[in-house]
Structure formats: structure tokens, C-alpha cells
Amino acid sequence: MNQKYFLPKKWALNATGWLVLEIIAVLALLCLRNLLSDIMSRNDIDALPLARQYADPNWVPRDWSVNQPPVYRVLFQSLFGSLIGSWGFLASSLIGRFFCYALIAWGLVLIGRKLGLNLPLQLLAVAMFLKGNQGVAAGERIVGVLETKIFAYAMVMLAIAFMLRKRYRLMAFLLGLATSFHILVGGYTTLFVAVWVILKRKIYFPSMRELGIIIPLYLITSVFGLKAAIEQLSTPTPASPIPISYIYVFLRMPHHLNPLSWRANWWIIPTFYLVMLVSSAAVLWFNRPTQALPEQLEEYQARIGLFEFTLISLVPYGLGLAIAPFDSQGTLLQYYLFRVGDVMLHLNACLLFACALDRIFTSRKQQKVLVLLCTIVVSISIVKGFHNFQREFQSTLNFPDESQEVDPQWKDLVTWVRKNTPKNDIFVSPPVEFANFIWLTERPTIAKYKLMAQTKAGTLEWFSRMRDLSGNFNGADPLTNFSEKLLTQGYNNLTTDQAKALMVKYDASYFVTRIEHKLDLPIAYRNKSYVLYKK
């Protein structure tokens, strides 16, 4: 029987207090490194305006990008759309991030505790994970800007913790929520958990009675994600000269989906963490307890179990690498085969490395040395993080500013637009640059490269609008030259006739560009850097 049942009540309370303290410590490290980073400048600029429009369809009713169907984002947009409308983008982003980070910290601490890690080792693992990119190659993130994916990963962290504890009902509930928030994050993790439980059936397989509860529980809580997946898969694919999957994989998302587009030495980092993962597991296996207390055996089982779960999560990763040279249309690559494994390899390699250190430094004196080493490494991470946090805090006080790609001249222009133009007038604006135009001005645009449609028909329309905004891709072949630079150059080279044609086609009243872009059109507003033309 677990010894906690023999402890006096005051010690049980102290144990709860330590849990809260550990969560606060991990949360503080997460916030220091990420809370103020890239507010309304990365994926925030995609997710939050969509949520704002979903809650209030009258916000920017004529903008094509923010009026796309929510698809798998229904739960996220329902939760945050009204909050953004009441509190604004800055406050909502901070509140949402803090809440997500708290859930992630809770999950990480529960996982760390099941692995037998004390607080210094937990902080060491988290600090290692936060150093550099969180994904090993495909650009995936667990902790970052506020978007539906971060909520899904928060649920996943907690679900893994309860998986290792054999608390399957909570696990199924959380995996279902993860699937509802993000079908791929939650769906892949659910698949990995199912395979892991089957392979570990002698230890971890639930009873048939338990299965009769957890399966319906998962299906109920995952309803939003499953509904979106069924609708997407059952929707007929529109005819197109260029396959929709090709546009998505090779033109818009190659940094996530196409290994052949990654830099030549991309394989070094995942290989490093794979070696770290396997080496750490080998240390744990060679130092496994033979005659030990039940708690020690459970700790060892959890450590090896996490290692096996990580290997399972890498199966789609390996499949993606194998099929990449042959999947010329992106038929399979479009399903983000690298998504979950990209971060699980990094995170769990760090956690198991900390577990390996715990097994190597066993004596009391060695443990003191280990705590000292952890303290030094974590302190360095905190000092570096605090330096960035100070800079980001100052930037937040001046929100929006350079961090949101808003210079004084741009701020003057968008302020003029909000005060002097009709709310429903459509603006032609660069496809890549000025991605903040919609939420700063609350005026509709034709399309934005960053705000990618998630439906099949929407993807084709997005590509068509990119073609128009870049003057037919500036005369280059988009299949071999498509890039943000190509789109920007094409827009900046639009002639007066092309600009007029765009305004007629999309019923636009204004054309915004940089001052260097000379057009024979009436000028509505101009400053040192930007010019706003009108019909």
C-alpha cells in the first residue's frame, strides 16, 4: 500500500503544497521564456482575428480571410472570440497563454513526479526543452503563441501523465478534449496511446469494463474534432489544374510537411535527440531495480513506458521521411506526419536524460553535486530568459510596436484608416506584408498569405487570390518559385492597370502600399513610408 495513507493529514497537505510549488516553478520558467514573445506577430495573427470574427460576424464582415469556416477551431474560437471582443487582442493573448502554460506546467510536473524527478531535475529538463526550437526539425511547438494547437498540447501533457498512472478515464477525457481542440494533435496522440496500451497490455491494459467507459467518454469529448474530420474527408475535392494537397504541402507549408525542402543538415538535431533518448533509456535499463519497493518498480515502468511511447510517436515521422521522395502530390504528407513526434522526441529525450542523471548520481554526495549542476544550468536559462523578458515587457507596454511590425508611420496610416474610411470598404493590401492590417484597422482585405484557408475550396481560392495580388506571380512559375518573396515582389511591381483591375474585381475602394510603389491613382493618405490610393 502507498505510504501516503500512513502519513498524518498535515504531511498530506504539505505534499499538495509541494505539488503547487513545483507547478508554479515550471510555470514561471515557461512564462519567462514565452509569455510575452510574438504577441500578435506569429500564429496569433492567424488564430485570434478568426476567433474575434467568429464571435462577432459584424466585426469585419467583408474580409475573406477571417470569415473562413472554423473547421476544427470551433471550440477555441467559441472560448476566445467573445473575450477578444471585450478585452482586446493583447489582454486576451496574455490571459490565454497564461492559462495554457499553467495546464502544461501541471502536466509536466505530474509526468516528472511519476518519473521520480525532483524539482531541480524537472526544471533542468524543461530548461533544456525550451532552449532553441521545441521541434527537432518540422517546426512544431508545445509552448508558444495562443492558438488552438497549444490548448490541445496542454490536454496531451495531462493525458500522458494520467496514462502513466493508469487513470484511463481522465486520460480519455483529456485526449477527447485535445482532439476537439486540434484533430491532428489529439488524434495522433490518441492513436499512439492506443498502440502503447496494447503493446503494454500485461501491465497497462484496462479491463473490459473500463474500456466500456473510456471509449464512449473519448468519443463524446472529441465530438468537435471528429465532426470536423468527417466533414473534411467527405467533402468532394474541387477540380483544379494544381492538386489542393500540392498547394498546401509544397507551396504553403513545406517547412512543416516536406522534408525535401528542409535545410541539408536538418537531420543532425533529431539524430542528436534520438541518441540522447536511446542512451538515457539504456542507462535506466542497465540500472533497473531488481529487488525494490513497488513505488520504485512503478517509477522504472513509467520511465521505460515513456521511452516506448516516444518511439511509437516517431513511427509516422519515419513513414513521412520514407514516402517524401515519392509523394509528389502531397497526398499523405498533408496529414502532418511529423507533427506530434517532432516535439515528443525533444521533450521526452530531455525528461529521460534527467532520469538517467538521477540514476547515475545515486549517493548523497553525488546528489548534492547534481542539484548544484541543475541549479547552474537553470539559473543560466533564467538569466537569459529574464533579459529577453525585460525587452519584451517594454515592447508590450508600447503595444503595438516593432514586435508587431508596426512602426510610427504605419501606426499613423492605420489610425487614419480607422477614423476616415467606411467600415465595409475593401482594401487591396500586400499578400505577405502588413499581415496586421485587418485587426489594426478593422477593415476588410482581399487575402493574406498568413491567414491560410483550411477547406479544400478555400485553399484553391486562397491560391487564386495570391496569384492576383502578385500580378500572376510576377511572371514566374509558382510551382518552382513560390515564396513569400515572390508574392511581395509581384505586388510591389503591380502596374496602375493591374491595380485598377484588382479593385474592380474585388470591389475594393483603396490600395495600400509602400511610398516607393508609384501608381497613377488618386491619393487618399500619404506619409514618409506608406501611401493609400483610392478609386
Model pLDDT for residues 370-417, shown as the tens digit of each residue: 999 999 999 999 998 898 899 999 999 999 999 899 999 999 999 999
Distance CA 338, CA 111 (A): 23
Which has the higher per-residue pLDDT, 131 or 270? Answer: 270
Query: Residues 6 or more apart from 222 whose CB is under 8 A from it?
Result: 175, 176, 177, 179, 180, 186, 190
Give pLDDT tens digits for 41-95: 888 899 999 999 999 999 999 999 999 999 999 999 999 999 999 999 999 999 9
Q: What are phi and psi of 534, to 5 degrees?
A: -135, 170
**Residue 12 pLDDT grade (very low, low, confident, very high; cuts 50, 70, 90):** very low
Give pLDDT tens digits for 415-431: 999 999 999 999 999 99
For residue 468, count CB atoms less than 10 angstroms from its CB and return exposed for 0-12, middle for 13-18, buried for 19 or more: buried
Q: What are phi and psi of 130, to 5 degrees?
A: -80, -10
Q: What is the DSSP letter of 403?
A: G
**Residue 14 pLDDT grade (very low, low, confident, very high; cuts 50, 70, 90):** low
Instruction: Tally the C-alpha atoms within 13 A of residue 390's C-alpha that lie toward its C-beta.
Output: 5
Q: Is the peptide bond before 316 cis (omega within 30 degrees of 0)?
A: no
**Residue 266 pLDDT grade (very low, low, confident, very high; cuts 50, 70, 90):** very high
Pairing of strands 530-534, 523-526: antiparallel
Distance CA 173, CA 207 (A): 17
Which has the higher per-residue pLDDT, 9 or 163? Answer: 163
Distance CA 507, CA 471 (A): 17
Give pLDDT tens digits for 222-251: 999 999 999 988 989 898 999 999 999 999
**What's the rounded mean pLDDT across residues 149-163?**
97
Instruction: Give me the pLDDT at residue 80, please.
Output: 93
**Residue 4 pLDDT grade (very low, low, confident, very high; cuts 50, 70, 90):** very low
Q: Using an 8 Å Cβ cutoff, are 404 and 436 in contact?
A: yes
Instruction: Give me the pLDDT at residue 508, please.
Output: 97
Mean pLDDT of all residues in the chain? 93
pLDDT at 5 over 60: no
Distance CA 258, CA 266 (A): 12
**What's the rounded mean pLDDT across residues 263-274?**
96
Crossing angle of the two packed helices 456-469 and 496-505, in degrees rounded to 10? 150
For residue 383, count CB atoms less than 10 angstroms from its CB and return exposed for 0-12, middle for 13-18, buried for 19 or more: exposed
**Residue 295 pLDDT grade (very low, low, confident, very high; cuts 50, 70, 90):** confident
Using a pLDDT cut of 70, give the percent of the chain over it.
97
